Structure 1
């Protein structure tokens, strides 16, 4: 099946699309650094670099040329998620009426050129991937002045009654991904077989295969399952912070203060809850950190959490800010400087996963954050043919690697969804997919 990929980033999400049996003819990405990684890994795909608003005709022309008279099946679009908001229609409308129209995040409008390209491409199916908040995000209506419309409603309105939709917030851990990552997958189609399946079954999504208790067949794949056997690292010195035998199995160093906080943090706990380490005291009932919503519904961390032991007065190994000889607790939520659990999928890997202060990103027991290689494994990139290289020959930076992982979806999860969709579109038996998925998952888990 023929596809094009919009907002393709470095192509990590495309790994699942390709392994599921789709030939990606054309891709578009705004940022050249990310496009260089894509071009190295997928040289047969025409990569068009630049603003999708300006590149619409170029994308369509390149697609038409690559098709050579054949039909396009699918458009895969993953517009930026940073602008998606939980704010309701009423609040945004109020801002627009006040003349604050620039308060609308321009990135949310990128769905408009994506819709235009899809409509003009002739493809029968559009798949959009984004954060769950997309389902409730509203934007100014492109054709009705001073009116707002929900993004999903706009897509349905633009596509018309010939299209049916199947939309779900997917937890990728439920498809065997060793990471808890929830994304909104929105499928719009006029394919006869896919529409018929929606009418008969109500959904185009494959059955989930994993759950916390194993009720669905298998238990979640855990952090320990994936990285538990890797060589130990320690962020205290250059000698202990990397492993020469495994590329990218390295971590940034922690300064003396951060290492003090992290090294005293128990399993599955946050450094904000650390107790007294004074050997003459050892009081372990100091008030722990907490957070609650204020009158405006905004989650605020407690300002009452002590930084000194409530029994002996010694400084606790909790994240602090020091001014001369004065210490105060660093502002942060209960999930900051917190260790992951061995016995659960990893928390969502954001582009900040190499920072100790990021949510739930400390190693389950070692004094450090996740290594780049561990992130590659937990994101299921390992197990697919992908090189961390650029076509222009420049060295790929650690920062770019973190961005490519943090802003993409684990390919193993997309592989399951796209494989199921491809077989349904051809009215083929989907029962054999479970064996294929198990094989790919096993490959991802044994690449150590």
Structure 2
């Protein structure tokens, strides 16, 4: 049965009104994608009565920025461009003309967010793992913090970023040292998103930096993030089994004949893992691809959603009780995107799959910044009470 949290968040077809009064919360989102990180902090801001303002969001992919603009129309600037075009100086160097212009236009940034491209860090990328030039983009986030001087910085990536080295030193350690020198308290953790209420087994590395003179610290935030009971697949998509497929986002992916037979076999025999004899020849010996061609279970979270969720040959993406892979709507729900989030700028099924699979679940920033904002608000209230008492 769908619980009240799902009804409150995922099933919403219209976005809650953006608070018009109160203090603004100004954010910059770099490597923004379609806006998963922004959506989470928007939810946290609304819960705390703050008015989200977005002076700048940047991503290299035009389709991603189109989706971002669609969902955050109040953004001041959403740019399709390389992030390094806005933050092009070396760490510790004087600000460049481009950086001075960016800082002047963005101004008074509270939170800097970013998920630099992770292909170079991912253990799925066997050919260029840990030597990919994209890994250096991680440090563009640190340079952006140096230029914008936000109150807080969050950098999101895959856990394998901890193994990456840049100029002989780990990029995470280098980021930590430089942010510390800039006056931030810094902590980093590998976060299991199923503990934050996301119905999939996904892990992300988070580096969180908060100004030393702020009312809280990254360690205090991480320690206080509320943990949820594990939510299963039925919680996320149980109401979508036979949904009307006139909307492209609800259209079932068309499987090849061989895969249709495989899925029907799993249903007919109440199995969740395909026997080797029915797999492609390359997987009929000893292999570690058990989840491929597998069927999902209602009472467990999904595996990590990738852009391949529409094909059972890409992972355990078969629906628990239908001979098909997941729809885009189901994948978006599993990622934690509410029904009001609009992916309509995506012109094809492949584009839709890429957009959803590459997105960051919003629960990540909703949980972290919901905690951060609550702690800083509590501290401000305590200071106000002390001032009133002393007065």
Q: Normalization by structure 1: what TM-score?
A: 0.68
Q: Using the alignment, how far apart are the partners of 1:429 and 1:66 within structure 2?
A: 25
Counterpart residue number, 1:93: none
Counterpart residue number, 1:61: 101
- Conserved 8 A contact 1:268-1:364: no
Structure possessing the higher radius of gyration over alpha carbons: 1
Q: Provide structure 2 residue ranges, at least 5 long, that are not aligned to the other structure.
A: 1-24, 46-51, 88-96, 382-391
Counterpart residue number, 1:158: 178
1:388 aligns to 2:343 (yes or no): yes
1:398 aligns to 2:358 (yes or no): no
SS at match of 1:387: coil
Q: Using the alignment, how far apart are the partners of 1:259 and 1:388 within structure 2?
A: 28
What are the residue-to-residue correspondences of 1:22-421 with 2, within 5 Å?
A: 22-45=52-75, 46-56=77-87, 58=98, 61-67=101-107, 71-84=108-121, 104-140=131-167, 148-161=168-181, 162-194=183-215, 196-197=216-217, 202-210=220-228, 219-232=229-242, 243-244=244-245, 248-265=249-266, 266-267=269-270, 269-271=272-274, 273=275, 289=276, 307=277, 318-321=278-281, 333-383=289-339, 385-390=340-345, 396-421=347-372
Name the structure, 1 or 2, with higher relative contact order (CA <8 Å, separation 6+): 2
Quote how far apart the aligned CAs of 1:246 are. 5.5
- Alignment CA distance shift 1:268-1:83 (3 Å): farther
Q: Using the alignment, how far apart are the partners of 1:356 and 1:133 within structure 2?
A: 25
Quote how far apart the aligned CAs of 1:65 are. 2.3
Deviation per residue, 1:6-50 (Å, 9 max, x gap) = 000111321111222242220110111211221222233201221
Q: Using the alignment, how far apart are the partners of 1:23 and 1:418 within structure 2?
A: 15
RMSD: 2.9
- Alignment CA distance shift 1:119-1:429 (3 Å): closer
Q: Using the alignment, how far apart are the partners of 1:321 and 1:339 within structure 2?
A: 20
Moved beyond 6 Å, runs of 4+: 327-332
- Conserved 8 A contact 1:26-1:63: no
- Conserved 8 A contact 1:267-1:341: no
Q: Provide structure 1 residue ranges, at least 5 long, that are not aligned to the other structure.
A: 88-100, 141-147, 211-218, 233-241, 274-288, 290-306, 308-317, 431-448
Q: Using the alignment, how far apart are the partners of 2:380 and 2:300 within structure 1?
A: 32
- Conserved 8 A contact 1:73-1:123: yes
Structure that is richer in helix per residue: 2
Q: Using the alignment, how far apart are the partners of 1:103 and 1:335 within structure 2?
A: 25
Deviation per residue, 1:96-129 (Å, 9 max, x gap) = xxxxx99820110102222111101121221101
Q: Using the alignment, how far apart are the partners of 1:328 and 1:423 within structure 2?
A: 53
Which range moves more in the overlay, 244-253 or 113-122?
244-253
- Conserved 8 A contact 2:28-2:113: yes
- Alignment CA distance shift 1:319-1:173 (3 Å): same
- Conserved 8 A contact 1:423-1:429: no
Q: Using the alignment, how far apart are the partners of 1:268 and 1:413 within structure 2?
A: 33
- Alignment CA distance shift 1:205-1:8 (3 Å): farther
Deviation per residue, 1:109-161 (Å, 9 max, x gap) = 10222211110112122110111111222112xxxxxxx11111111222234
Q: Normalization by structure 2: what TM-score?
A: 0.77
SS at match of 2:29: strand
